[in-house]
Structure 1
Amino acid sequence: MKSEDEEEEDPVIAAVGRTYLRASDVDFIRGDSQFDLDSAELVNRYVQTWIKKQLMIKEASKNLTINEAELNRKLLDYRYALIIYEFEKAHVEQQLNKEVPLEEIREYYEKHKDNFSLKEIIVRTNFIKIEKSLPQKRQIERLLSSTRENDRKDMKELAQRYANNYFMEDSTWIRFDDIILNTPLAQNANNVQMLKSNRTISVDDDSHSYLFHILEYRLQDQVPPLEFVREEISKIIVNKRRVALAEQLHKDVYNKALENKEFTIYD
């Protein structure tokens, strides 16, 4: 219960039966500068959510026979679970090493290679989009498929000067659907046969030419190269470390308590 003075300082802004929502209950919204919406709109949303929640509680209380002891036990279990979770989280984040050397990634890849299977086609490729009428088109076609270092350098310079779009990261694996997006190849019905039959692919639309030189490809259901799954494997290894740290924490707490005789089991 609040005195009249306290009620004037902290007025009721909503009520469901004899349950009240006061101004102080929504101060955290007005004081939080991270929200983009104005505070009045946010307060109104919170009030509506609070009312709906209280109405559900009221209706549930009328229609359910609640075992108070069981409810309190569940609330305690939930509270303890939250405390343990926060403790584990803080401990793990403090101890966790997120650096994964390439050798560890390679070792995991070799042991679990069969667990990785491509869902789509990936390629290493050089790609350039140019205007069909560009005088340098023939030169670009020749340089695009060359493996000579000087030609590769000249190709990149031409791409920077004349291309509408290009991709020259030939050591990087990329999803084939991503590289052919917004090109006439996006409508091709059989990319697998096309890749098997051609290393150099040239297609045109009304105004542009799209030139591809396929260096390497992998098809659906094949094992991807290490480079393509390196980041995924790194995340798997870090997550395994996270789980191991949490499990070790439980063991350490138990063993310490056992050593110090902090608990007793009665027959």
Structure 2
Amino acid sequence: MRKQPACVPLCNCYFCGMFFPKINIASIFCAIVVFTLSSCSSLFKEKEEKEPLARVGDTFLYKEDISSLIREDMSAEDSTLFVTDYINNWASKQLLLSKSKINLPEEKLAEFDRLVSDYRADLYTRAYVEALVLKAQDTAVTTSQLRQYYEKEKENFKLNEKLVQLRFVGLPAQFLDKGGVITKMKNWEVEDKNYLDSIAVQFKKIHFNDSIWVSASRVKQEIPLLTSLNEEKYLKKSQFFELEDSLGVYLGKVTDVLEVNDTAPFEYISPDIRQLILNRRRLDYIRKLETEIIDEAIKKNEFEVYEKE
């Protein structure tokens, strides 16, 4: 009679009622340990370790903390000096910080911690609010809105320096027809303007738009021969002036003047009014935003104030 081949012993699985081959538990445990160790080893290898540059107590300064501060145009010597100075400054601050935490009173430390916390919160909230304002704020301001604001607040727009309307040219010292330019600057008919415009390339400086208001300080910057000592003589209404030195000649005609404490003209002050209107809109938007945030938090039960007993 043929002999039956040897069979692998079976065990009865209680949970599923199926039969599985008996397995050496020790072999499984060893396999798991080997697999786990090899996996951990792989994980440790993949984890990038930071390269420390210095240590103060339990605090470390790492290479990556200052790598972005080193400019590409630095030489090797300069970068070495920079890193050395940075490490020394960092160490000094860390040591002083640790000493302060030991030697300062507890109430003072608590006060500083509160200030740091408040400052951190202010930085975050200010950045967030500014982003919302930039996204939502209407920056369009019409001339009508500017004029309406000006008429309403006119008494508050007083000048703190003299303004003038004038035209002037700066001629080089070797310019030949100074007399002709003077005549045309005084007459100022259409043909005079056109002629002076046609030869403007020969002038050192030129300003023919005498309908705009300019501060006296700006005029003195453009015409160095005008000073605080002589401006009362030359910067007055209907005054024609000629100022000359070894470098050239300045010819000018003042058409109008506004003195300190006079009401600022609309054309001159309108850029400031526009900024005032935008600032007011910004503040209104922030107040509205703060109110809406609180109302929404109350509705969602994210904010409540407990009544005092």
TM-score category, normalised to shorter length: 0.7 to 0.9
1:144 to 1:56, Cα distance in 2 relative to 1, 3 A: farther
Matched with 2:208 is 168
The answer for the alignment partner of 2:53 in structure 1 is 13
Deviation at 1:211, TM superposition (A): 0.4
Which of 239, 252, 259 is the matching residue for 1:219? 259
The offset of 1:245, in angstroms, is 1.0
Q: Is the 8 A contact 2:173 2:247 kept in 1?
A: yes
Distance 1:227 1:37 in 2: 50
- Alpha-carbon shift at residue 210 of structure 1 (Å): 1.0
Please say if 1:241 is aligned against 2:281.
Answer: yes
The one-letter code matched in structure 2 to 1:134 is: F
Matched residue of 1:185: which SS? coil
Amino acid in the other structure paired with 1:80? A
List per-residue Cα deviations over 1:18-41 (Å, max 9, x = no partner).
4321112223335xx7x8766826
Structure 1 gaps, min length 5: none
Q: Which residues in structure 2 correspond to 1:106-121 (within 5 Å)?
A: 106-121=147-162
In the aligned structure 2, how far is the partner of 1:204 from the partner of 1:88? 56
Identity of aligned residues (%): 25
Equivalent position to 1:26, from 58, 66, 73:
66
**Partner letter of residue 58 of structure 1?**
S
Structure 2 Cα separation of the partners of residues 260 and 62 of structure 1:
44
Q: Is the 8 A contact 1:146 1:152 kept in 2?
A: no
Q: Which amino acid aligns with 2:159?
A: L
SS at match of 1:169: coil
Amino acid across the alignment from 2:139: K
| Higher normalized contact order (CA 8 Å, seq sep 6+, divided by chain length) | 1
Map Cα deviations across residues 180-215 of structure 1 (whole Å, 9 max, x no partner). 337463346142343337521112213522100112
Q: Which has the larger radius of gyration?
A: 2
Asked if 2 retains the 8 angstrom alpha-carbon contact of 1:192 and 1:219, the reply is no
Structure 1 residue 261, shift from structure 2 partner: 4.3
1:184–1:203 contact (8 Å) kept in structure 2: no
Q: TM-score normalized by structure 2?
A: 0.71
What's the CA shift for 1:251? 0.9
CA distance in 1, matches of 2:255, 2:185: 11
Structure-to-structure mapping, 1:178-193, within 5 angstroms: 178-181=218-221, 183=223, 185-187=225-227, 189-193=229-233
Cross-structure match for 1:139: 180
8 Å contact from structure 1 (residues 29, 42) kept in 2: no
Q: Is the 8 A contact 2:237 2:254 kept in 1?
A: no
Q: What's the Cα RMSD here?
A: 3.2
Q: Conserved in 1, the CA contact under 8 Å of 2:241 and 2:253? A: yes
| 2:244 maps to 1:204 | yes
Deviation of 1:139 after TM superposition, in Å, equals 1.6
Q: Pick from 165, 187, 208: which aligns with 1:124?
A: 165
Aligned length: 260
**Paired residue secondary structure (1:145):** helix
Matched, 1:255 2:291: no
Residues 105-145 of structure 1: CA deviation (Å, up to 9, x unaligned): 22222222232232322212111111355332122112113
Match of 1:91 among 119, 125, 132: 132
Among candidates 80, 101, 104, match of residue 64 of structure 1 = 104
TM-score (norm 1): 0.81
Once the 2 structures are TM-superposed, how far is the Cα of residue 103 of structure 1 from its aligned partner?
1.7
